[in-house]
Amino acid sequence: MELLPYEDLLERVVSQTLELVDRGVITPIILIDGRAGSGKSTLAAKLQNEVFKQGESMPRIIHMDDLYEGWQGLSLGAEYLQRIILQPLLAKKNASWQEYNWELEQRDRWREFSGGTPLIVEGCGSLNQYTSAISNISIWLEVDEEIRRARWLERDGNTFDEYFDIWAAQELDFIAREKSPSLADYGLSSPAVD
């Protein structure tokens, strides 16, 4: 994994994404993984905007939060990404999936993506043994727990405070099994900016 400062990382990934498009890669796949509160969504949005500003079609972002099946669903969400979204895209078919509704505790809204633009998948579990083999660019964001927990509280307030440790345990299990950080092309040499 090559470690870069935040702005250099963003610049490198934008440049590499544009090169992939120029070389004819129809749907470059970019994975952004890390633990809760590490800055994955923020980096995904910045990457999306920077690629679009360079004249390319707006990249599609898929948030793993929309794929997890509840607070115990990290591994199921990763498997759903592989089976329902990435495998059809690799077969040059449309991917159709249902987002998970956290309030109703079930899948509901349908989404579709036919490819043709860069795809950014962000969230814990997006980078694993399967996805690393098919992605074009992969990023692991490592941030101290104190910063991550503060971001979690800032983003969600105390609403989900009881779930932080439950989720953290799943992250640790998944990371130990899949060795996600070791699969990444890039990482941060300093904490992500807000």
Contacts for 112 with CB less than 8 Å, ≥ 6 apart: 94, 95, 96, 97
Pairing status of strand 137-141 against strand 186-188: parallel
Query: In b/e form, how buried is each residue of 46-69, taking b as 16+ CB within 10 angstroms?
Result: bbbebbeeeebeebbbbbbbbbbb
Q: Six-digit token pair at 147?
A: 């910063």
Kindly give the confidence (pLDDT) of every residue in the chain, 194 residues in length, as a single tens digit, with 9 standing for 90 and above. 999 999 999 999 999 999 999 999 999 999 999 998 899 999 999 999 999 998 778 999 999 999 999 999 999 999 999 999 999 999 999 999 999 999 999 999 999 999 999 999 999 999 999 999 999 999 999 988 888 878 877 877 666 677 888 999 999 999 999 999 999 999 987 765 55
Kindly tell me the burial class for residue 114, based on how many C-beta atoms sit within 10 Å of its own C-beta (0-12, 13-18, 19 or more): middle
DSSP-derived secondary structure for 75-89? HHHHHHIIIIIIHHH
Q: What is 2-143+173-188's CATH number, 3.40.50.300, 3.40.1670.10, 3.30.70.100, 3.30.750.24? A: 3.40.50.300
Q: Six-digit token pair at 115?
A: 């490819």
Q: Distance between alpha carbon 72 and the CA centroid of its chain, in Å?
A: 18
CA dist., res. 30 & res. 121, Å (int)? 6
